[in-house]
Structure 1
């Protein structure tokens, strides 16, 4: 039987984990979120199939649902699409972290002259997770304006969840090559490749194998929705088993076109065993987000 949202807390208990360490969750300013949802409302015109938002609810309701699902920490993961946005988004994220006790203080950046300054301010204020979106932002990750930011992030070891694969739509700077160039210069960055880099699954897995601090997140990977459009290629599921210590749970909550539990169910049916599930659903995300891990005691 399909796994349901209501069953997830019991599922976690039976697996022996305290909950879910989901590194790819979005809480955004309301006006920005309305625009994101409007984009997905018209996604069918671009993708050939509808993208109904499963959790189109006010923020308090989304927070209650996230906790009920078993999320032990809640990132915000905002992202700018033009210059001049990142600073105020970081201010919003700092406010979110201050008013939501289980929030993961997040921040973002964009290639612009003041990026090193506002990134340094965000890190000093406690940001411990960065979000970047190459396709939406339409910027090159190896833009020289980002070099001082990469230096800061490499020095601090703060993880960066970066959407750089070419799904659901390719951009001028998506794909593995721009990220590979960044890692050639900043090899100790802690990158988390959103959506496992789909549809360039194998190319980004190759990158993870070459760089021990690079991770994949599972956002939408293996779900029925994704398999119908961007299916995992031959041999890829086995690579996820081999890379277990560098695969972290991601979901894209609340902007997903199916119940949250379907993401977990999609990982279960890979049939890699309970220890793999404990590692992916909890341990890796907890390590990256700095959560206390009672399973290590």
Structure 2
């Protein structure tokens, strides 16, 4: 039996989710209602890690978010506790723009082991550089912690006032000292977001959903619109991601399309490991 690793291994997955069961059920129910997607991946840490380990993922990030004030502190605490029993899990934290004392909520999370922040701009109804979350962004800068945003218009937010390239550019100009990632390749404004990755040292993208083999079917986006040359050119600013367990297809479909491109080994090492390690501030 061959033990040779694929170009995917070893990998870091910087875009997964873990929530308490009732909250996860609510999130999945909302997604199914909006999109028709159905989900069958396990939602427990053990179940998620079994899938990741089988694929060759050595470290992964769990990204939280909350839809209303008063939930973030407890969710951050829960996720950090999940990480204490895992050698793979890197927890992020979140805060709601209407929370009282957003600065303290984020500081407490970082002191408990959180490695970065996550904002889902459409769900949390805040722009990336919203003044209400400025205290949270200042704490992230203090801790040299990265921030991952759902800042693009896909898959159902094209008319949402809290997302889009213009608002993300305001963030990049206002906080050049913070590493920030726009998930899903910035779809549907990929050209603008790719330019951000080229122009701004602190701008990153992840491939989640947008570069899967099911992207055209699930979000009406064609991965081939991003040519190999762009991935090669910007491999130090683009990293793999999956959205596991909230994907309506097998985990392998997130990476299969990228692997089918037959890129050079160095490009794959960036996409699947090194860029995420740099973004996350890991020592590897």
Q: Following TM superposition, by how much is the alpha carbon of 1:105 offset from its aligned partner in structure 2, in angstroms?
A: 2.6
2 CA distance for matches of 1:234 and 1:57?
A: 32
RCO comparison, higher one (Cα < 8 Å, 6+):
1
Matched with 1:93 is 79
Could you state the TM-score of these two structures normalised by the residue count of structure 2?
0.90
SS in 2 for 1:182: helix
Matched with 1:257 is 248
Alignment of 1:119-134 (within 5 A): 119-134=106-121
Matched with 1:240 is 231
SS in 2 for 1:119: helix
Matched with 2:126 is 139
Task: Output the aligned Cα RMSD.
Answer: 2.3
Return 5+ residue gaps in structure 1 as ranges.
Answer: 1-8, 45-49
Matched with 1:51 is 37
Contact kept, 8 Å, 2:172 with 2:203, in 1: the verdict is no
Contact kept, 8 Å, 1:27 with 1:75, in 2: the verdict is no
Question: 1:26-61: per-residue Cα shift (whole Å, max 9, x none)?
Answer: 1111111111111232234xxxxx422141454432
Alignment of 1:8-157 (within 5 A): 13-15=5-7, 19-44=10-35, 50-56=36-42, 58-112=44-98, 113-157=100-144
1 CA distance for matches of 2:74 and 2:190?
A: 33
Tell me which stretches of 4 or more aligned residues in structure 1 moved more than 6 Å: none
Matched with 1:288 is 279
Contact kept, 8 Å, 1:154 with 1:189, in 2: the verdict is yes
Contact kept, 8 Å, 1:215 with 1:246, in 2: the verdict is yes
Moved more, 188-197 or 60-69: 60-69
Q: Following TM superposition, by how much is the alpha carbon of 1:291 offset from its aligned partner in structure 2, in angstroms?
A: 4.0
Could you state the TM-score of these two structures normalised by the residue count of structure 1?
0.86
Q: Following TM superposition, by how much is the alpha carbon of 1:199 offset from its aligned partner in structure 2, in angstroms?
A: 1.0
Matched with 1:164 is 151
1 CA distance for matches of 2:15 and 2:146?
A: 12
**Paired residues, number:** 279
Matched with 1:269 is 260
Is residue 2:186 matched to residue 1:197? Answer: yes
